A and B are shown apart, each in its own frame.
Chain A
Amino acid sequence: MIELSNVTRSFGSNHVLRGINLTVEKGQSLVVIGGSGSGKSVLIKTILGLVEIDSGTITVDGVDVSRAPRDAFLARFGMLFQGGALFDSLPVWQNVAFRLLRGSLKRPRDEAREIAIEKLRRVGLGPEVADRYPAELSGGMQKRVSLARAIAAEPEIIFFDEPTTGLDPIMSGVINDLIREIVTEMGATAITITHDMSSVRAIADTIAMLYAGKIRWHGPVAQMDTSGDPYLDQFIHGRAEGPIPAIR
């Protein structure tokens, strides 16, 4: 279980997180929605320790993340970055098997390659992609390679940062379905950040809406359309008029 209590984080005078309280149960798929610049990416980066918090506590299974042994802690996570964040200098299979080629999860090279090819197959990419470089792939393929990398070491917790940004609707659907299938199949806890409402409906068990540095609404996806919260309503229907100013 991931638990955030009164988490704050500011960048100079910009108070991005102003007291976040949020719980994600084990095996649950939470989708965080919110406007651009509302601090969604910062939120998941604080859990991973990529961004330090100013105050509050973040625990994973009751252990404070700031005190957890770093390598063992990070070995439990997988993350799909918004732009893929694939390493340009490495071929696709080495990107996917990055964690399996070094560190505490190191495997023999042949075995790591086999696992990488299997993970690529899992995300719908053939073995012929394995020896290509990220720059030789389309945006959708890069996202799928990044997804394969995120699941390569079979993590307990997976974060997806804007998994469908920049993709066409069909490819977005493919990625959404893959994420849902993988999360269900692996029994992993997932936090996804997205603006894409079709992703929200495809991926989420629960939804948290971030607004003005706080969790504005948190509940099951089934209650999203009947929440009665004007901020959530405006966001999910994409209306310019409402309590959220269009020009921020």
Chain B
Amino acid sequence: MMRLLAAIGATVLAALAAIGRIAIFTAQALSHLFRPPYYPREFAVALLQIGYFSLPVVGLTAIFTGGALALQIYAGGARFSAEAVVPQIVAIGMVRELGPVLVGLMIAARVTSSIAAEIATMKVTEQIDALVTLSTHPMKYLTLPRILAATLAVPVLVGVGDIIGIMGGYLVGTERLGFNAAAYLTNTVDFLEARDIISSLVKGAAFGFIAALMGCYFGMNSSRGAMGVGRATKSSVVAAAVLILAANFILTEAFFTL
């Protein structure tokens, strides 16, 4: 019994210590927002990598999800003669939940892993030490531009994902399920509220921040060797995905139940 309690205690302490380390890392990274020098070129590159180059994967994820959602709602609604609600539920489902969460998870898979692997490799090959000896703070040069770029780019990606997802539902609805095109669009637009869109974009910003932060944190704290890089990459994606889902719950509570 004591052993079990000790194991639980050790796990809780380790979790609290990890939360503390991440909180300190976050505070350190954000503190550089107010302390020049800044590296606009690094920020622009990160914006391009995270925002622009994620568009194809976000678009494909959103269009298939929107289409599948329309089919599911139609089939489910048919059980109680509510097939007509497809445009409204696709819109609300994509904008409030599926758009931000799926984009967040895709960013965790694509961007978090890439950031973690890149920074961890830089650490293993002494490039981080080299940055320091060249009078360049790694948090300013590597971490802040990526976190800032993800926080600004992911809401835009979520907005694009929402629109493409709704278009996926629209295509299935009009081409496959026989909805009138004009009526589908009118129902979609009329049903959405400003709060739905704002919540979607705020979630995007939060998920982008989490995704980049986890990539940077695990990259910077990677252990030596190929195994260290692999472990940092895996841990960053798992942590980012779990934190994104947890943040999604908290933000949904904050926007729609308080």
Number of interface residues of B (CB under 8 A): 13
Number of interface residues of A (CB under 8 A): 25
Say whether chain A's binding surface is mostly helix, strand, loop, or mixed: mixed
Nearest chain B CB to A165 CB, angstrom units: 13
> Which stretch in A55-63, A95-103, A184-192, A208-216 binds the other chain?
A95-103
Is residue B135 contacting chain A, with contact meaning CB distance below 8 A? yes
Contacts of B127 in A (CB 8 A): 85-88
Contact A81 B126 (CB under 8 A): yes
Nearest CB to that of A103 among chain B residues? B135
CB-CB < 8 A to A137: which residues of B?
none
* A103 contact from B130, B132, B133, B136, Cβ within 8 A: B136
Closest residue of B by beta carbon distance from A161: B126
Which A residues lie within 8 Å of B39 (CB)? 102
Complex contact B130–A74 (CB within 8 A): no
Is A160 close to B, CB under 8 A? no
Chain A residues in 8 Å Cβ range of B134? 74, 98-99, 149
In the complex, chain B residues 115-134 whose Cβ is within 8 Å of any chain A Cβ: 122, 125-127, 129-130, 132-134
Chain B residue numbers with a CB within 8 Å of A49 are 132
Q: Which residue of chain B lies nearest to A74 when distances are taken between CB atoms in the complex?
A: B135
- Contact pattern, B 130-151, Cβ under 8 Å of A = 1, otherwise 0: 1011111000000000000000
* Contacts known (A81-B126, A82-B126, A85-B126); A71 close to B135, Cβ less than 8 A: yes
Flag if B136 contacts A85 (CB, 8 Å).
no
**Least distance between A50 CB and chain B CB atoms (Å):** 5
List 10 tightest A-B contacts by C-beta distance, closest first. Answer: A85-B130, A85-B126, A74-B135, A79-B133, A81-B126, A85-B127, A99-B134, A71-B135, A103-B135, A98-B134
Contacts beyond the supplied A50-B132, A105-B135, A149-B134: 6 A-B pairs with Cβ under 8 Å: A48-B133, A74-B132, A74-B133, A83-B126, A86-B127, A102-B37
Residue contacts A-B, CB under 8 angstroms, 13 given: A45-B129, A48-B133, A50-B133, A70-B135, A74-B134, A74-B135, A75-B135, A79-B133, A87-B122, A87-B130, A88-B127, A99-B134, A103-B135
